[in-house]
Amino acid sequence: MREKFISYYRPTVQEFDQLWNEAIFVFDANVLLNCYRYSSHLRDSLFTIFEVINDRLWVPHQAALEYQENRLTEIIKQENAYDNINKILLSKLNEIKSEIDKFSRHLTIDVSDIYIKIKETVDVLCFEIKTKKETHPNLLNNDEIGDKLTSLLSNRIGDPYTQEKLTEINEIGEKRYINKIPPGYKDISKTEKKYFDDLVLESKFGDLILWFQILEKAIQENKSIILVTDDVKEDWWKKESGKIIGPQPSLIQEMKRKANVGFYMYQTDQFLDFANKFFQINTSQKVIDEQINEIKSVRETLMWVNENISSGKFIRSHFRTKKDGTISELLFDDYINNNSAINLATKHKPPVSLHEYIRRTIIPILNINENFLEYLTIGEFNDYINTRLKEVKDDELIALCEEFGWINNDLEFTDEGLKNIIQALDNTDNEKSSQ
């Protein structure tokens, strides 16, 4: 029975030993990008493992391309974090002062003394953050992390597909996604297209392209595959009650059927733990446990953001009250990187009101949802639509916004443009509330 349903059985100890002794270690883009989010100690530990397995380390072209496309974005996010956190602290300080001033006439409580003590603490924190910023590495000019990865992955990157092959995969993907055949079907709503070296790649088929490249590598080398990924979607993992049990059985089965080799998957924290033990790397268990917790913390933060964004579990007043444009703790850039604009049914101006027109054109092109008002500040919302405007590269949209006087020479929305888009979204929300 085990032979018939191998994908439903956890590998034996002997099978795991054989996998780790012989398999090709494949790394997804998110694992590489997370190197910019980890502490230097954790990052060095991962690099040490990469060096140990270097002769069996491999990155599919699709994963390498996604890493290159998002590397600079991650670097800039890290640099902006210092100022953004300081803005949060100062904003919260002002909110606290406004609230406690309501008790200024209290008989025994001296609110001014409370405020002074809180302010002193905030000032110390802001100074520490500013000091850390001064020592932050200038990765835009000297990307030591990227350089190290480039060195480690030298001659370890797969080749790209031809446009003919990509078109074939798109056609196969349409059929697979309808039947929810892993991986990739969870990205079926993505509509963005990417361009690289005269190739057109549809974002929704990114995971499928990755998978096919992994399959081909297994066939060519006749070796088992261990995939390390921090993707948590159910089209990669089998889940029970929200808990990851193991790789999707159909992936193991497809690898066995097409390449006749084994296949297993790890998240980065699991990989770090097993790699240290298997290769007997001289790292204490205490340090390993701390690094595992750090990896989990990064992943859980990103998961929390995505889950709350999709479910709208935010308070609308958060948007309405934060008029100073301060940045919240949300890692919203990660949501931007994993979502695409949707296509317009028409680009002709309909005979409707201005705000209705915005709802039919600008809002869908930029992939703006009315729920955005529930969890974004003014600054975050403006950053998002400015980023989307540059990403979609829609000449007609740009011409339209220029006609309205809503964007400047830097292709960024003016206050007037932002105001009208927000009003259009408010109208959408109000109509839904009245239904």
- Whether residue 207 lies inside any domain: the answer is yes
**Percentage of residues in the chain with pLDDT exceeding 90?**
48
Mean pLDDT of 147-152: 96
Q: What is the pLDDT of residue 324?
A: 37
Q: What is the pLDDT of residues 279-335, one digit of tens each?
A: 998 888 899 999 999 998 888 776 665 554 443 333 233 333 333 333 233 333 333
Q: Is 48 a residue whose pLDDT tops 60? A: yes
Tell me if 285 is assigned to some domain: no
What residues contact residue 88 under an 8 Å CB cut-off, 6+ apart?
Answer: 326, 327, 328, 329
At 385, is the pLDDT very low, low, confident or very high (cuts 50, 70, 90)?
Answer: confident
Q: What is the pLDDT of residue 177?
A: 95
Q: Could you read off the pLDDT of 81-129 as tens digits, one per residue?
A: 888 888 888 888 988 988 899 888 888 889 899 999 999 999 999 999 9
Q: State residue 325's pLDDT score.
A: 34
Q: 192-206, pLDDT tens digit by residue?
A: 888 999 999 999 999
Looking at 232, 260, 278, the residue that finishes a domain is 278
Average pLDDT value over all residues in the chain: 81
Q: Is residue 239 part of a domain?
A: yes
pLDDT at 346: 30
Helices 415-434 & 395-404, crossing angle to 10 degrees? Answer: 100
Do both 327 and 419 map to the same domain? yes
pLDDT of residue 190: 86
Q: Is residue 117 part of a domain?
A: no
Quote the tokens at residue 27. Answer: 């790394």
Supply the pLDDT for residue 328: 33
Residue 106 lies in a domain: no
- At which of 259, 278, 297 does a domain end? 278
Are 240 and 335 part of one and the same domain?
Answer: no
Pick the closest to residue 67 from 42, 38, 30, 39 (CA basis).
30
Domain boundary pick from 278, 297, 325? 278
Report pLDDT for 338: 36
Segments forming the whole domain that contains residue 406 = 316-434
Q: What is the pLDDT of residue 319?
A: 30
Same domain, 225 and 371: no
The most confident of the ranges 244-258, 390-404, 408-422 is 244-258
Rounded mean pLDDT of 419-435?
A: 61
Q: How far is CA 430 from CA 230, 359, 424, 427, in A?
A: 38, 13, 10, 5
- Let me know whether 326 and 272 are in one domain: no
- Total of domains in the chain: 2
The whole-number pLDDT of residue 323 equals 35
**Residue 88 in domain:** no
Same domain, 272 and 357: no
User: How confident is residue 365, by pLDDT bands cut at 50, 70 and 90?
Assistant: confident
pLDDT at 355: 65
Question: What is the predicted pLDDT for the residue at 73?
Answer: 85
pLDDT at 370: 58
> Would the pLDDT of 237 be above 70?
yes
Are 325 and 388 members of one domain? yes
User: Does 264 share its domain with 167?
Assistant: yes
Tokens of 53: 């397995």
Same domain? 160 vs 207: yes
Domain-embedded: residue 304? no
pLDDT at 141: 87
pLDDT in tens, 335-362: 333 333 222 223 333 334 566 667 666 7
Residue 32 confidence (pLDDT): 96
Which three-class secondary structure string do you get for the chain?
Answer: CCCCCHHHCCCCHHHHHHHHHHCEEEECHHHHHHHHCCCHHHHHHHHHHHHHCHHHEEECHHHHHHHHHHHHHHHHHHHHHHHHHHHHHHHHHHHHHHHHHHHCCCCCCCHHHHHHHHHHHHHHHHHHHHHHHHCCCCCCCCCHHHHHHHHHCCCCECCCCCHHHHHHHHHHHHHHHHCCCCCCHHHCCCCCEEEECCEEEEHHHHHHHHHHHHHHHHHHHCCCEEEECCCCCCCCEEEECCEEEEECHHHHHHHHHHHCCCEEEECHHHHHHHHHHHCCCCCCHHHHHHHHHHHHHHHHHHHHHHHHHHHCCCCHHHHHHCCCCCCCCCCHHHHHHCCCCCCCCCCCCCCCCHHHHHHHCHHHHCCCCCCHHHHCCHHHHHHHHHHHHHHHCCHHHHHHHHHHCCECCCCCECHHHHHHHHHHHHHHHHHHHHC
Task: For residue 384, give the nearest of 405, 357, 363 by alpha carbon.
Answer: 363
Regarding whether 261 and 195 lie in a shared domain, the answer is: yes
129-152: average pLDDT: 91
pLDDT given at position 318: 32
Residue 297: inside a domain, yes or no?
no
Tell whether 320 and 420 lie within a shared domain.
yes
Whether residue 427 sits in one domain with residue 330? yes
Q: Are residues 322 and 388 in the same domain?
A: yes
